[in-house]
Amino acid sequence: MSKPLAITPEAIEAAFQERGFVCTGEVATTLFLAETLGKPLLLEGPPGVGKTEIAKLWAEVHGSDLIRLQCYEGLDEAKALYEWSYGKQILYAQLLRDKTGDLLSGAADLRSAMAMLRGEADGFFSRDFLLPRPLLSAITSEKPVVLLVDEVDRSDEEFEAFLLEVLSDYQVSIPELGTVHARHRPRVVLTSNDTRDLSDALRRRCLYLYVDYPSFEDEIRIVESRVPGLSVALTERLVRFAQSLRKADVKKAPAIAEVVDWALALVAVGADGLSASVLRRTLGVLLKNREDVERVLADPSRFRT
């Protein structure tokens, strides 16, 4: 797995292909650039086009760990960067109380007791009690890792600003300990579903790639590689069906994974066409909204062309 990868766009494309991911030239080139320029990569696009998958495979290709930071509203530094382990610290305090009794028994008064204490190490805020969260573990990791900051558009703007600071220098300052520098520059991938406009500053620091739904040909390649047992004609028809659904204003457009699932379902029921009865039985795999399903079943021919 960790065989060194010659970094060229072709090699990346081939490595992704090998792992069953249909990788367009643009994706490969951008990943190549992220690697060569050492910049974070911002992937944007509708849900379900494989943005997270790209990051996962990117880690796999490099044979490195993937550290994932899932963003959500209210995510703050403590949850993303580090926390102090309070339980351990309380235990340590108890230990201290016992030990200091013995240690300070020789002291004549309070002043000399303080002086003696000062001589001992202050272990209260040390690495032993630090609980690293994804960002810190990505920075302190022994091996280079891929840091995936997933759905960064869901986080608050304050967190985005904080992220910016981390991404610009790859260092974190912990007031009690000082500044922690990255041992290896992590490969950073950010994904966004474009629900909120990210700040220009963040965009400036990243390379940008808009991942859209695949083209007709690419999606056929994807389905073919994932669902080998499907006839060519049916593959084409189901992909065309899914693509026209995306163009129509359905509430939830089918993601690539759902199209693949649907193809698997069609194989499972042994369908050889998209007849009304086949659709009725399997459409739940593709569409996850009742109104959408009803609309399509009412007039399926609209989407077959």
Partner 1 sequence: MIPAVARFVDALRDEGVPVSPAEVLDAARALDAVGLEDRARFRAALRATLAKGRAHLPRFDRLFDRFFAAPARGSARRGEKPGEAGAGGARAGGEGGEAKRSRPREEPRRGACPARDRAREGKTGAGDERRERLRRAIARLGEGDSRREGRLRRVRVEREAHAEARGAVERDPSRRDLTRPMTTDEERRVAREVPRLVREIRLRAGRRLARARRGRLWIRRLFRENISLGGIPFVLPFRRRRPRRPRVVLLVDVSYSTARAAGYFLAMATEFVVAGRDARVLAFVDRPVDATRAVAAWARRGRRPATQAPRSAPRGRRRGEGIESGGLSFADLLESLPGLNLAAPSDYGRAFHALLHSHLRPGGRDSVLVVLGDARTNRFDPLPWAVEEVSRRARAVLWLVPEPRSRWGTADSALADYLPYADVVVEARDLAGLARGVAELVRRL
Q: With binding defined as CB under 8 A, does residue 207 bind partner 1? A: yes
Q: Single out the segment in contact with partner 1 by CB under 8 A; choices: 30-38, 47-55, 109-117, 146-154.
A: 30-38
Q: Which of 256, 216, 255 lies closest to 236, judged by CA?
A: 216
Q: With binding defined as CB under 8 A, does residue 157 bind partner 1? A: no
In whole angstroms, how close is the CB of 85 to partner 1 at the nearest point?
Answer: 39
Q: With binding defined as CB under 8 A, does residue 30 bind partner 1? A: yes
Compare residues 125 and 210 and give the one whose CB is closer to partner 1: 210
Cβ-based neighbour number of residue 52 at 10 Å: 19
Q: Residue 191's Cα: distance from chain center in Å? A: 7
In whole angstroms, how close is the CB of 200 to partner 1 at the nearest point?
Answer: 6
Contact of 202 with 157, CB cutoff 8 Å: no
Phi first, then psi: what are they for 69, rounded to 5°? -115, 105
Q: From residue 177, how far is each of 10, 127, 140, 164 by CA, in Å?
A: 44, 8, 14, 21
Q: Which of 55, 206, 242, 260 binds partner 1 (CB under 8 A)?
A: 206
In whole angstroms, how close is the CB of 227 to partner 1 at the nearest point?
Answer: 28
Compare residues 33 and 107 and give the one whose CB is closer to partner 1: 33
Q: Which of 19, 20, 36, 90 binds partner 1 (CB under 8 A)?
A: 36
The beta strands (E) that lie in the chain are given as 41-44, 66-70, 82-84, 130-132, 146-150, 171-174, 178-181, 187-192, 207-210
Q: With binding defined as CB under 8 A, does residue 64 bind partner 1? A: no
Q: With binding defined as CB under 8 A, does residue 37 bind partner 1? A: yes
Q: With binding defined as CB under 8 A, does residue 26 bind partner 1? A: yes
Q: Single out the segment in contact with partner 1 by CB under 8 A; choices: 12-20, 22-30, 59-67, 98-106.
A: 22-30
Q: Residue 82's Cα: distance from chain center in Å? A: 19
Per-residue tokens: 68: 């994932």
Q: Which of 139, 128, 142, 149 lies closest to 179, judged by CA?
A: 139
Residues 93-122 that bind partner 1 (CB under 8 A): none
Q: What does the alpha-carbon distance between residue 104 and residue 120 come to, in Å, rounded to a whole number?
A: 11
Q: Which of 5, 39, 85, 153 binds partner 1 (CB under 8 A)?
A: 39
Q: With binding defined as CB under 8 A, does residue 208 bind partner 1? A: yes
Which own/partner pairs from 12-15 qualify as long-range (CB within 8 Å, at least 24 positions apart)? 12/61, 15/57, 15/61
Q: Tell me the pairing of strands 171-174 and 207-210.
A: unpaired
The beta strands (E) that lie in 45-156 are given as 66-70, 82-84, 130-132, 146-150
Compare residues 35 and 77 and give the one whose CB is closer to partner 1: 35
Compare residues 100 and 199 and give the one whose CB is closer to partner 1: 199
Q: Which of 227, 213, 299 lies closest to 266, judged by CA?
A: 227
Q: With binding defined as CB under 8 A, does residue 169 bind partner 1? A: no
Q: Single out the segment in contact with partner 1 by CB under 8 A; choices: 159-167, 204-212, 251-259, 263-271.
A: 204-212
Q: With binding defined as CB under 8 A, does residue 158 bind partner 1? A: no
Contact of 198 with 230, CB cutoff 8 Å: no
In whole angstroms, how close is the CB of 136 to partner 1 at the nearest point?
Answer: 27
Q: With binding defined as CB under 8 A, does residue 151 bind partner 1? A: no
Q: With binding defined as CB under 8 A, does residue 5 bind partner 1? A: no
First to last CA, the chain: 43
The residue ranges that bind partner 1 (CB under 8 A) are: 9, 25-26, 29-30, 32-33, 36-37, 39, 42, 44, 194, 197, 200, 203-204, 206-210
